[in-house]
Amino acid sequence: MLREPDGEKPADLEVRFAVDIEMRAVDDTARTLQGYAAAFNVKTKIRSWSGEFEEVLEPACFADTLAKQADVRALVEHDYRSLLARTSAGNLVLEEDARGLKFSMNLPDTQLGRDTYENVRVRNYTGMSFGFMPLKMKQDFDERGRLVRVSHQSVDLREITITSMPAYPKTSVAIRSLITRSASLLPGSLDLRLRIAKLRA
């Protein structure tokens, strides 16, 4: 089991929100929640300082994370102090199927665990989100060198979170690491295209 340091900065992660994803309370005694934290092949428009592009998660993009048994955490509202479960403890189980990233978690017998379960049960919490670092992606550009589509083929999943606001955050923050990470994954390519886009704009 690969353990990640507890002090990791959430701000370093890409954050995406799964809208209209199933999540439900299934066992009052064990306080079990089940659902999907991410969906495959769902097109999402993301706005950035360089324009707008489309993003999708390809099937099996979480396979590397699952194969290496990374220590993924389940949180409330991306707050690392509000820890609900983690894969290394065995109370968070993640798997991929044809639809997306499926999860099952047993919440602790704490005030946070009980409150979270009740809020899901009464539909106060209706959304899921996930934090990741991109590892492998396919990028498409238009004739002006602007990024128009990103297909994530492999990502390093660090967290899933229960949220009351399943909508994208401000894009300047949301895609900052994607832009810089893309440049390192594709040396020179994205940097050159961004320069061309600025010159032609």
Q: What is the pLDDT of residue 22?
A: 53
105-159 residue pLDDT tens: 999 999 999 999 988 888 888 888 889 999 999 999 988 888 889 999 999 999 9
* Least confident piece of the model among 28-42, 80-94, 144-158: 28-42
Phi-psi region of 123 (alpha: psi -120 to 50; beta: other; left: phi over 0): left
Whether the pLDDT of residue 182 is over 80: the answer is no
Nearest to 179 by CA among 144, 142, 139: 139
What's the CA gap between 149 and 52, in Å, rounded?
A: 9
Angle at 131 between CA 137 and CA 153, to 5 degrees: 20
Mean pLDDT, the chain, integer: 77
pLDDT for the residue numbered 53: 85
Q: What is the pLDDT of residue 140?
A: 92
* pLDDT higher than threshold 60 for residue 102: yes
User: pLDDT at position 57, please?
Assistant: 92
How many whole angstroms separate alpha carbon 124 and alpha carbon 170?
Answer: 22
pLDDT of residue 51: 74
In 3D space, the residue among 131, 132, 130, 133 whose CA is nearest the CA of residue 185 turns out to be 133
pLDDT of residue 29: 74
Domain locations in the chain?
12-200
Burial of 197 by CB count in 10 Å (0-12 exposed, 13-18 middle, 19+ buried)? middle
Given a cut of 90, whether residue 85 has pLDDT beyond it is: yes
